[in-house]
A and B are shown apart, each in its own frame.
Chain A
Amino acid sequence: DAGVTQSPTHLIKTRGQQVTLRCSPISGHKSVSWYQQVLGQGPQFIFQYYEKEERGRGNFPDRFSARQFPNYSSELNVNALLLGDSALYLCASSSRDRIERFFGPGTRLTVL
């Protein structure tokens, strides 16, 4: 069974640009969460979606947005990129009746 997949693997952008990151959950999982992990720190929660509805939002500015599609895949969009947005962006999926989250390999975003 395939795990959580994310694309692209790496991304380099310049300040002010916009970026879209993509995630496909484990088959059968309907919930997707997004996390930002800055080097040397633990993952910080950005969004959770379940059945295409936003179920939670972390303390991130409105430049960050996300959506979930009917096939439960998800996109994270970040507008007006700042240098501080450089991080590993992690997607995690979970099933309805379980708490634990299973993570993808991440997308490493570098903002120059």
Chain B
Amino acid sequence: QKEVEQDPGPLSVPEGAIVSLNCTYSNSAFQYFMWYRQYSRKGPELLMYTYSSGNKEDGRFTAQVDKSSKYISLFIRDSQPSDSATYLCAMANLYGQNFVFGPGTRLSVLP
């Protein structure tokens, strides 16, 4: 079993839709949870950063962490064609030595 699992997609939605992206993990030592956005042939860009369980909102983006289920989500409201990218979840233990990425979900938002 991989440490972090993520549906690779591709996921296609119409412009304006609510998008839900998810990751599951197996290592209960993970305390920090991040979402990165990666455009084609570019480096990952940090979108959201959460410590432990709970919700965090930033504009059209909401990150949720459920440590009891080892499940994290990223919601994108009013999706735009410019949101078309690969979304990578990442997580780390308390001291950041074990910093692991999921395989990424490719999202296409169609105008």
A interface residues (Cβ-Cβ under 8 A, vs B): 4, 33, 35, 40-45, 48, 55-56, 88, 90, 94, 99-106, 108
Contacts and interface: CB of A to CB of B under 8 A. Distances in A.
A40 B40 CA distance: 10
Interface string B23-57: 00000000010101000011111100100000000
B96 interface: yes
Secondary structure dominating the interface of A: strand
A43 B97 CA distance: 15
- Determine the interface band of chain B, counting residues with CB < 8 A from chain A: 20 to 34
Contact of B41 (A40, A43, A88, A102): A88
Interface of B: 4, 6, 8, 32, 34, 36, 41-46, 49, 88, 90, 92, 96-97, 99-104
Contact of B100 (A45, A48, A104, A108): A45
Given A88-B41, A90-B43, A42 B101 contact: yes
